[in-house]
Structure 1
């Protein structure tokens, strides 16, 4: 792939990540758990976007995005290292930071962590011991 084509591809990847971050933050995207541990899936028409974390060769965490067509075939895959290798920015503005934050928000959405925390706090408030 020539440099211009590679640059356009990376721009598309970064635009996709930015849109996923924004629309997940606004609550307009509904993610679900994938069959794989620590991976989440978003249905987009007949296609899927999977967001997950793994370890790189140095055993450090990396975040990946995998795009599958309607037949479950991987048609595109990239990770934060692919983006940050070209578009170097400091943490948390870099793509490691963006994908880490997105992964965390998606995990909280899928697990219902915020609702569970609210329920626990409400229960604790209602069952607080009465001082003498």
Structure 2
């Protein structure tokens, strides 16, 4: 198996999710309470944690921090949940999986199995293309 191909697949996977995260952040920044002139300090602190998350993708505790932030989105900012891409719940895992039905989890598990299988066999793998197939978007 090519180490270069493995690195490419992992980078592609990470970058896809970081793009989704950045898109979510951009959308969340335009929503209440963050756009309010008198936005509470607690909300501003949360927004700062959310905004800092993509820059921390190489930190050891990145996934755990992501779980904490996304769990807070669901618990405290329900109006933002429709803006939150489901892939992010799977990517960060842990407590975030509580917000996903079993059928959805099974599809993400299949997607991950296909990704790891392709990497193990040294085949190219497009996460976005395979995701579309698994979720019936093609």
TM-score (norm 1): 0.29
TM-score (norm 2): 0.28
Q: Which structure's residues are more often strand, by fraction?
A: 1
- Higher RCO structure, 1 or 2 (CA under 8 Å, sep 6+): 2
